[in-house]
Amino acid sequence: MSARLPEKDIKTLALLVYKGRLAKEQAGAALEEAPRKGLSLETYLVRKGWLEPGEWEAWKRAGGEPPRLRGYEILARAGEGGSAVVYKARDLSSGKVVALKAAREEVLREEAARERFLREGRLLCELRHPGIVRAWKLARQGDVIYLVMEYIDGETAQDRILRGERFSEEEALEVVLRAARALEYLASRGIVHRDVKPGNLMLARDGSVKLLDLGLAAGGEAEVEGSRGEATSGTAYYMAPEQARGDAVDQRADIYSLGVSFFHMVTGELPFEGADRREVMRAHMERRLSSAAVKERSFSPLLAYFIQKMTAKDVDVRYQEPGELIRDLEEKLRGFKEIREQGRVSRKPAKGRKRRKRRFR
């Protein structure tokens, strides 16, 4: 008789899939085979070589108690990732609601991971753009290193995808346009994000779109030695071919990742999946992203063109800079608005004439 898996372990497994650390196929195999063999999920995943020893516990601590920080009242847990937990909090001196991004314990113990967190904090405190989440302070209290950021009331594009929702063509174009404007700003500072994906596109309730998580960003004044040699860091499902190969990357790699995110938003599917991270990365290097999934859903030919151009394997065929992409997206969205306006006008009956009732046979 197979043992029942603890609910906490199932949540940890879901987090590993959500963050791209495990493929869905790996998680499915673990859920099916570990109980049958009388193994814990941790033991099964380590024996299969899919997780490093000790890594499971690091992810499992995602559900730990919030830190106690002087000057802040923790209101709720707002999100989490492999390196940090984000809390909704109130600044007791100003009464303002903020987000506190607290580094995990294991991040503080590892020098490279700690430097990535600190680099992101310094970088966010420097940047000022409406499409990038704003940060005010990087600080430490006791053994907790945390970043004070603006609190965004909303959800990520990934949250919507996980609910089974697909973005309309116009809606996805708006999200991609706003993300491209944030990338254009980063490019003007010599910064490559290197981890653009739906999970890092925050859709605020006020209609704005914020680019999150600059932990893997390279370049800019805040760059440190730790950012070099991390070319293959990132989420494999959205990774540009040159990034997967470990080559030097520029803003065109971010455009590729945004293109894959675009595809995922409108189709609800990932273009490439595999048994592990290396297999997915190999697919990005060797296989063309098919536009069939887009065409099957009756989107405009121009949408397929955008996705194909953004995700071209040859970097010289891709959009060369975010500004070039922005101009094309703006033109496309103007077309949508003009069609809507024409539709409103055509639906209005002429003065003095009654609208004839339509009969269906």
Query: Which residues form the catalytic set?
Result: 195
How many Å separate Cα 129 from the centre of its chain? 18
Distance CA 309, CA 325 (A): 10
| Dihedral pair phi/psi, residue 171, rounded to 5° | -65, -45
Assigned token pair, 264: 């995922």
Residues 6 or more apart in contact with residue 87 via CB below 8 angstroms: 66, 74, 75, 76, 77, 78, 99, 100, 102
DSSP state of 318: S
Distance CA 235, CA 194 (A): 9
Give helix 301-310 / helix 169-188 axis angle, nearest 10°.
30
Give the residue from 201, 210, 319 showing the smallest Cα distance to 262.
201
Residue 256: is it exposed, middle or buried by C-beta count within 10 angstroms (0-12/13-18/19+)? buried
Contact assessment for residue 44 and residue 34, using Cβ atoms and an 8 Å cutoff: yes
Contact assessment for residue 325 and residue 319, using Cβ atoms and an 8 Å cutoff: yes
Residue 124: is it exposed, middle or buried by C-beta count within 10 angstroms (0-12/13-18/19+)? buried
Residues 6 or more apart in contact with residue 175 via CB below 8 angstroms: 157, 167, 201, 203, 209, 265
